[in-house]
Amino acid sequence: MSASAHLQKAATNQTILKPAGTGGVRQRQSLEARHNLIEATIFCLDKFGYADTSIARIQDQANVSRGALTHHFPSKEELVIATIDSLLEKLLRPSLPSKKLSQTDIVADLRWLARNMTGTARGRALSEVLMASRTDKKLSARISPRLTDWNTKLDEAVVGFYASPNGDDDDVRQIWMIARTFMRGLILQQPFTPDPAQIEQAINRFGTLIAPYLETRKRDGVDDAKPL
């Protein structure tokens, strides 16, 4: 048998012996690596803030080599953009309740909102990037289209979830925009108000202020998720 025939036979054998599903395993490993890097970025944004979240810190938190990190994300900016996409996707999980909203329900919704925006690493990480984009024009240019698209989807979800007593959907959008703004403000206020009871009182008071302007649309077969 000629040398070329031997090589061809060897290549054929390697192809036959190659484990099935290798491509799927690699794809899964790649997705897991990206997920771990995004989770490490969220941790660093929450703990250190945007300015001090460096590639080196993310690398250490994810416990990966620099080459492995840059294979997936060539720069901090690309990693932050992927993190924003992940955060926005997870924060837009609305569904519709089946009962009329009472003042107590409003306060409960606001507490849920507070837990997700001020009481979790994800909510605080998102706020860090939003604040950084105010002065970082390059970052702002990258995330603004994503935020615009997210807000459009959020508005659609909110008006499906809530109604205004006067029937004006724009009122609903505006009330929840105010509510989200209030919650983001709590992130800045927390260092000056370390007593959780005072934060809770502020949420309760805010709930009593907006409760007269919202009621829920009746829907069947829904869960307890809320729109952010």
Where do the structural domains in the chain lie, given as residue ranges?
3-88, 94-216
SS3 65: coil
Q: Give the integer Cα–Cα distance in Å for 105 and 164.
A: 15
> Confidence class of residue 3 from pLDDT cuts 50, 70 and 90?
very low
Pick the more confident residue, 38 or 11.
Answer: 38
Q: Which of 38, 202, 40, 50 is CA-nearest to residue 138?
A: 50
Pick the more confident residue, 202 or 20.
Answer: 202
| Residue 175 reports pLDDT greater than 50 | yes
| pLDDT tens digit sequence for 29-41 | 888 999 999 999 9
Q: Give the integer Cα–Cα distance in Å for 202 and 182.
A: 10
Percent of the chain with pLDDT over 70: 79
Q: Which of 66, 93, 95, 97 is CA-nearest to residue 79?
A: 66
| Residue 103 reports pLDDT greater than 60 | no
> Mean pLDDT across the chain, nearest whole number?
79
What's residue 221's pLDDT?
44
Q: Which CATH architecture group holds 3-88? A: Orthogonal Bundle (1.10)
Instruction: Provide the H-helix boundaries in 133-195.
Output: 137-161, 169-189
What's residue 174's pLDDT?
92
Percent of the chain with pLDDT over 90: 34
Q: Give the integer Cα–Cα distance in Å for 218 and 161.
A: 9
| CA distance to 41, 157, 177, per residue, from 162 (Å) | 34, 9, 13
Average pLDDT over residues 200-226: 73
Q: Give the integer Cα–Cα distance in Å for 39 and 19.
A: 31
Q: Give the integer Cα–Cα distance in Å for 87 and 113.
A: 15
- What is the value of pTM for the model shown? 0.70
